[in-house]
Amino acid sequence: MDPIKAKVIFEISTLCLIGIIIGLFVFWLYRIKPKKNALYRNRYFPENKKEIIDPVIKIDLFDLMIVITIILFFYANVALLYFETNNIGPSESSKAKVELSLNETLLSVGIFLIVGAVIFSLASVSRGRQPRQVFGLRKRSPSYVFKMGALGMIAVYGSVFIGSVISNILLSTGEPKKEDLQEIVQTLLTNDELSLKIAIIISAVVVAPLVEEIIFRGYIYPVLKRFTHPAFSCVMTSLLFAVIHTNVESLISLFFLAIVLTVFYEKTKSIWVPILMHSIFNGVNTFFILKFSDAI
């Protein structure tokens, strides 16, 4: 990755981390004020109004500790990328290996699944909770999920288009270059190994949507919402989602995508809808990358 772009990602992720910490502190101060803020507390803090608790289980400080640990883990990965990029220098960075091997892809998927499993266990199973209550895995009829998913895709592509326009204006990148694309995309474009492509497709269409949505929309968002405010939690969770993909060109589009996914999770009260939307989005993108690779 270009050192300047790595620096941008690192600085935005730092601002995101600082913003979350400050937000938690400010909302905590606001919350402990006496009667003056009673209406606010009754509206947004579940212990004051039992009927609005969502998810069904009580989110507590241990959940917040888990979420902060997750955020620090993601931040450490971005920081590591930044420092590694700066250590090798701009000239060497442009020549660095950008393709993924099959073993690297499988290892990446394995680590991703392990991280997801650890979070899943800590937040639910190890504490005697029902996963469907913790992560929004509520039963919804397939017809409802597909209907809302189809409606959501209109919002997804509208928001991503707006994000792309804003990115082009701010970054003035012109036509996309292969070196600006993510490793996984560059691998799809340049590597003809069938098993590798299948592994990447499964990762993009099945593993990533499932794990990312459970972590971000299913857990980080409701926990931050519980201790702050829905709008603040939506923005911070979406920004975090965007920066962990470590791609400057798609940063704004991913941010808008994440906001739409969060809104539909909030609207439907089921994580299955954003999982479907995320899967379709990745699947369509993968199809076009493979179909029109010569044009990129």
Average pLDDT over residues 146-152: 95
Q: What pLDDT score was predicted for residue 50?
A: 44
Domain definitions of the chain by residue range: 3-295
The average pLDDT across 169-177 equals 64
* Count of Cβ atoms closer than 10 Å to residue 68 Cβ: 17
Q: Does residue 211 or residue 39 have the better pLDDT?
A: 211
- Cβ neighbours of 292 (radius 10 Å): 9
By mean pLDDT, which of 9-13, 53-57, 87-91 is the weakest?
Answer: 53-57
- pTM here is 0.84
pLDDT band at 140 (very low <50, low <70, confident <90, very high): confident
Give the pLDDT mean for 70-74.
95
Of 67-76, 90-99, 204-213, 215-224, the one with minimum mean pLDDT is 90-99
